[in-house]
Amino acid sequence: MAKLSVLQTATNRLEYLTPNDWALIIDRAKRLTFKKNETLVRQGMQSKIVYVIARGNVNVTVSGARLAQLGSGQVCGDMAFLENTFASATATAEEEVEAYALEWQGLMDLFELFPHLASRFYRSLALNLSRRLREQIMLKQGADPDPDPKHPF
């Protein structure tokens, strides 16, 4: 149960998932450790894996320019995972990182058994992507991103 609490109490961007959802997902996930400067996702490479960061920080870069830093409870690889296409960014461990790798086929098998889990999972990913887009828009406008997603920009 300890591995579940790490993900549930973090600044979890997959917030629509229930404790039971997490238990099912983590049971199918591969727990991986990445050393400092090791790549989780490489720009231009196709991947059918989404990573949930359990511990450590991950730098996200596009063509070498730093775009974001992700930490515990956040996900990376979600865009390529959703679109079944090539990664638009590189995610690199800033320090030792522990992450759960969720493979597409394993999730699809799980979603077939639990359709409501699929709905909550994809809704969570959509909210995550929306928040990241909002942050980028706010930064481009020269404003600080509003951490409260209920307030319009």
Domains of the chain: residue spans and CATH: 2-140 (2.60.120.10)
Let me know if 57 is exposed, middle or buried by CB neighbors in 10 A (0-12, 13-18, 19+): middle
As a whole-number percent, the residues of the chain with pLDDT over 90 amount to 55
**Partners of 76 in the beta sheet?**
51
Best mean pLDDT range from 61-70, 112-121, 130-139: 112-121
Is pLDDT larger for residue 150 or for residue 114? 114
Q: What average pLDDT does the structure give for the chain?
A: 84
Tokens 């997490």, located at residue: 22
Q: Check: CB of residue 29 under 8 Å from CB of residue 102.
A: yes
Give me 54's structure tokens: 């359990």
pLDDT of residue 40: 95
b (16+ CB within 10 A) / e for 109-118: ebbeeeeebb
- 129 band by pLDDT with thresholds 50, 70 and 90: confident
Measured CA to CA, the distance from residue 52 to residue 74 in angstroms comes to 6
Is pLDDT larger for residue 88 or for residue 2? 88
95-111 average pLDDT score: 95
Let me know if 76 is exposed, middle or buried by CB neighbors in 10 A (0-12, 13-18, 19+): buried
Is pLDDT larger for residue 148 or for residue 92? 92
pLDDT of residue 47: 83
- 91 band by pLDDT with thresholds 50, 70 and 90: very high
Supply the pTM of this predicted model.
0.80
pLDDT of residue 131: 83
Let me know if 81 is exposed, middle or buried by CB neighbors in 10 A (0-12, 13-18, 19+): buried
Best mean pLDDT range from 10-19, 58-67, 93-102: 93-102
